[in-house]
């Protein structure tokens, strides 16, 4: 029998909250007396609940506070860069506990629907020209997310490579460390090969027109699939399965929080 999820399954754990609490920006001073400020942890639980379930802001259970208050706090924290800082801390913790696998990295794009439009959306060529968004994701050799950028679904993957590499949120190792980057046929262009070389990578890009050949070499393992798996992990956060945020900054904040959760989970924070 499948166990039904409860509200607690969609809340921030004690361990993760301890990490987040240290990063919270100071609250804005009140201009006049009024109701006390809603508890930060309750608000964060509401944001995480929305991220996991994909419900509308107005449909948030009242146990997390008034939906408008939760949304206002989300905006406040998004502007402060809190969600990116949480992800950054997760990567640093993971690096200490497990070690980021910089030697083999992978990049790939994925498209989602964006029915409300907004910045970073465009006509999806695979969905009858309906509005969609594309996220370009870079991971380490084990699929830990290192960078993500967003643009319209009509933007070619190759156009997002530079932005994705520039958006890595922690410092890369010295160029003296060998770093390989795995990419699919959609990136097989001379300018992309030159670009990743300029960034200190050795490119591993299957050529267009090349047949898929099974490689039977002792010790060989496929490496590009890890980024596709991470895209799948992100899609388990139902708020990301379809982009409902008109503001690209809000959509990125949701992506950052999801990447942070994936990273902390991989670091063993949740046991």
pLDDT of res. 231: 96
Element spanning 134, H or E: strand 131-139
Give the pTM: 0.90
Pairing label, strands 180-183, 202-205: parallel
If DSSP states are collapsed to H, E and C, what string results for 92-110? HHHHHHCCCCCCEEEEEEE
Q: How far is Cα 193 from Cα 202, in angstroms, rounded to an integer?
A: 9
Q: Are 181 and 107 in contact (CB under 8 A)?
A: yes
pLDDT at residue 220 is higher than 50: no
Phi, psi angle pair for 212, to nearest 5°: -75, 120
pLDDT at residue 19 is higher than 60: yes
pLDDT bucket at 221, cuts 50 / 70 / 90: low
The rounded Cα 51 to chain-centroid distance in angstroms is 12
Q: How far is Cα 109 from Cα 158, in angstroms, rounded to an integer?
A: 9
Q: Are 178 and 202 in contact (CB under 8 A)?
A: yes
The radius of gyration of the chain's CA atoms, rounded to the nearest angstrom, is 20
Tens digits of per-residue pLDDT, 2-13?
A: 444 544 568 899
Tens digits of per-residue pLDDT, 39-81?
A: 999 999 999 999 999 999 999 999 999 999 999 999 999 999 9
Closest to 265 (Cα-Cα) out of 104, 86, 110: 86
pLDDT at residue 96 is higher than 90: yes
List residues bridging with 205 in a β-sheet.
183
Residue ranges of domains in the chain, CATH in brackets: 100-208+220-244 (3.30.420)
Element spanning 154, H or E: none
């Amino acid at each position: 029998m499948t166990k039904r999820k409860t509200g607690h399954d969609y809340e921030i754990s004690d361990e993760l909250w301890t990490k987040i609490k240290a990063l919270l920006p100071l609250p804005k001073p009140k201009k006049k007396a009024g109701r006390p400020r809603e508890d930060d942890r309750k608000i964060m639980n509401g944001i995480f609940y929305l991220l996991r379930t994909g419900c509308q802001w107005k449909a948030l259970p009242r146990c997390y506070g008034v939906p408008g208050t939760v949304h206002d706090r989300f905006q406040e924290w998004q502007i402060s860069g809190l969600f990116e800082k949480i992800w950054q801390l997760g990567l640093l913790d993971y690096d200490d506990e497990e070690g980021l696998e910089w030697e083999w990295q992978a990049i790939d794009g994925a498209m989602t629907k964006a029915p409300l439009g907004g910045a970073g959306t465009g006509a999806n060529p695979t969905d009858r020209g309906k509005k969609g968004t594309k996220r370009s994701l870079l991971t380490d050799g084990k699929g830990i997310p290192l960078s993500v950028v967003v643009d319209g679904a009509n933007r070619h993957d190759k156009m997002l490579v530079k932005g994705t590499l520039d958006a890595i949120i922690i410092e890369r190792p010295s160029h003296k460390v060998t770093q390989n980057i795995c990419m699919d046929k959609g990136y097989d262009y001379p300018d992309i090969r030159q670009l990743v070389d300029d960034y200190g990578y050795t490119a591993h890009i299957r050529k267009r027109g090349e047949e898929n050949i099974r490689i039977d070499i002792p010790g060989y393992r496929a490496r590009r699939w890890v980024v596709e798996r991470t895209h799948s992990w992100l899609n388990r956060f139902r708020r990301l399965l379809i982009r409902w945020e008109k503001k690209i900054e809000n959509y990125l904040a949701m992506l950052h929080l999801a990447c942070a959760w994936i990273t902390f989970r991989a670091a063993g924070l949740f046991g």
